[in-house]
Structure 1
Amino acid sequence: MRKALSILAVLAAAPAFASGLEIQIEGEANGTVRIDLLEEVAPKHVAQITALAAEGKYDGVVFHRVIDGFMAQTGDVEFGRLGEDMRAAGTGGSDRPDLPAEFSDLPYDRGVVGMARSQNPNSANSQFFIMFEPGHFLNGQYTVVGRVTEGMDVVDAIKRGQPRSGSVTGKPDVMTKVTVTE
C-alpha cells in the first residue's frame, strides 16, 4: 500500500514539476501527442531527451518498432529518419553519451513512456517507447521518463509492425515536429 501511495504521489505531482514534449505525428496516425516528463524520477534521461528535442533532433524520426498490444518505439536520431534506409533504424542513438539507469517504482501502464536500451541497463540514449497496454514485466528494468496526457488516440493509431519483431515495413509513421513544453 505504501508503494502504491508513493507512486500516486509522484504521478500527482508530475505536471507541476515536469517539462513536457509535444509531438506532431503523421502517417496512419495523424495528430498531437502530449507527454509530461518526470524530471524528479529520471532527471538525466529527461535532460537528454529535452535537449535532443530542443535541437530538433527528433524531427523527422520514424516509429521503427511497433508491437500491437505492447508499445511503439521511436527516437533513433542516427538511423531513424524518414526517407533514409530503414534497415538500421533502431540500432542508433545520438552523439551524446549513453545514460546510467534511473529505475523507479513507477509501473509500465498504458501511456507510460520509457527509455529503450540494449541488454546493458546503462545504455539508454535517445530512443523511447510509449506503452499501448500495461507491461509490468518491464517494471524496474527500464527507465520511466514520462506519461502521455493527451493524444493516446493518436498513439493507438500508429502503424503496427511485424507481429514478432515489431519492425515496420513500408512507410512508417513519423514524428514531424517534437517541441519541449513547460
Structure 2
Amino acid sequence: MRYLHLSTLFPRLVALLAVIFLVSCASLSSVADTSSIPGAQSNTSMANLPRLNGDATVVITVNDRPITIQVNGAAAPITAGNFVDLVNRGVYDGTVFHRVVREPQPFVVQGGDPQSTDPTVSPQLYGTGSFIDPKTNRPRYIPLEILGKGSSTPTYSQAGKVSPQLNHTRGAVAMARSQLPDSASAQFYIALQQLDFLDGNYAVFGYVTEGMDVVDSIQMGDRIQSAKVVAGLEHLQQP
C-alpha cells in the first residue's frame, strides 16, 4: 500500500485502516473474514462470476431516504457485476451499516454483511460474513479489480500496483475485503471524504450521485431498507 508521510499520518492511518482491514478478533473486524476459509485465496474463476457490461443505477433506501449510486461496469465489470447481481437478488435488503467512522475525521460508512439480517447472529459478528452462493453453497469471492490510468483492461489481484481510473473521492463506493486481495464478497463502503491512500488497494466501482446527505446521516446500526436496480439491469451478464 502507498502511504503518505508517516510522520504526520501514521496515527490516523492506523485508526482508519483498522476499519477496512481484517484483524483476527471478530469483534474488531469490519470486512468479510475469509482468512480461515479454504478457497478464499484461489478465488472463483472469473468466468463463473457475473459481469456488468455497461453502467447501472442502484437506489438504496436508508431511513426512508434514497441514495443513488451510479455503478461503472466499463471500469470494473466483475466488481460492478457482483454488486448489481447482489442488489438484484435482494441480498442487501435489511443489512446493517456496522461500521461508521467520522472521528477523528470523516472516513467511511460500511455495510452489506448478509449475515446481519439473521437475528440469531450476534452484532459482534457483523462484518465477518460473505455472500453464500446458493448454487454452490459456498462463499462467492471476487478478485481485486483495478483499471489503471491509460489502460483498457483491469489489473487483477494486485494491490497497489497501478494508479486507478476510479479514485476514492467523496462518495466513492468500493468493496471491503480482508488483507487477501481476492477476498471481497458482499460488504461495501462509501467514502465520506477523499481517501487517496486507499487508491489502487481497494476496488472502487461507482459513486453516489444523489443522497450524499443521507450517507452523511447514517449511524452505526442503521439498516438498508431496500436496494433496487433502477436502470441498466440489462447490462448484467450472468455466467
For 1:93 and 1:59, how far apart are their aligned partners in 2? Answer: 15
Counterpart in the other structure of 1:143 = 203
**Quick check: which has more Rg, 1 or 2?**
2
Residue 209 of structure 2: SS of its match in structure 1?
strand
For 1:38 and 1:115, how far apart are their aligned partners in 2? Answer: 13
Give CA deviations for 1:93-141 in whole Å, capped at 9, x if unaligned.
Answer: 1014211111131210100000000001111110100011111110000
Counterpart in the other structure of 2:61 = 24
List alignment gaps of at least 5 residues for structure 2.
Answer: 1-53, 134-139, 148-163, 232-239
For 2:73 and 2:110, how far apart are their aligned partners in 1? Answer: 21
List alignment gaps of at least 5 residues for structure 1.
Answer: 1-16, 160-167
For 1:125 and 1:137, how far apart are their aligned partners in 2? Answer: 22
Counterpart in the other structure of 1:12 = none
For 1:53 and 1:138, how far apart are their aligned partners in 2? Answer: 24
Kindly tell me the number of residue pairs found equivalent between the two proteins.
Answer: 151
Q: Which amino acid aligns with 1:151?
A: G
Contact 1:41 1:144 in 2 (8 A): no
Residue 82 of structure 2: SS of its match in structure 1?
helix
What are the residue-to-residue correspondences of 1:1-182 with 2, within 5 Å? 17-26=54-63, 30-68=64-102, 69-77=106-114, 79-81=115-117, 83=119, 84-96=121-133, 97-104=140-147, 105=164, 106-159=166-219, 168=220, 172-182=221-231
Counterpart in the other structure of 1:164 = none
Give CA deviations for 1:45-84 in whole Å, capped at 9, x if unaligned.
Answer: 111111111111110001001111000001111x222755
Contact 1:71 1:132 in 2 (8 A): yes
For 1:66 and 1:46, how far apart are their aligned partners in 2? Answer: 23
Identity %: 37
Question: How far off is 1:85 after superposition?
Answer: 2.3
Residue 32 of structure 1: SS of its match in structure 2?
strand
Q: Which amino acid aligns with 1:136?
A: D
Quote the RMSD (CA, aligned, Å).
Answer: 1.3
Q: Which amino acid aligns with 2:108?
A: M
TM-score, with structure 1 as normaliser: 0.79
TM-score, with structure 2 as normaliser: 0.61
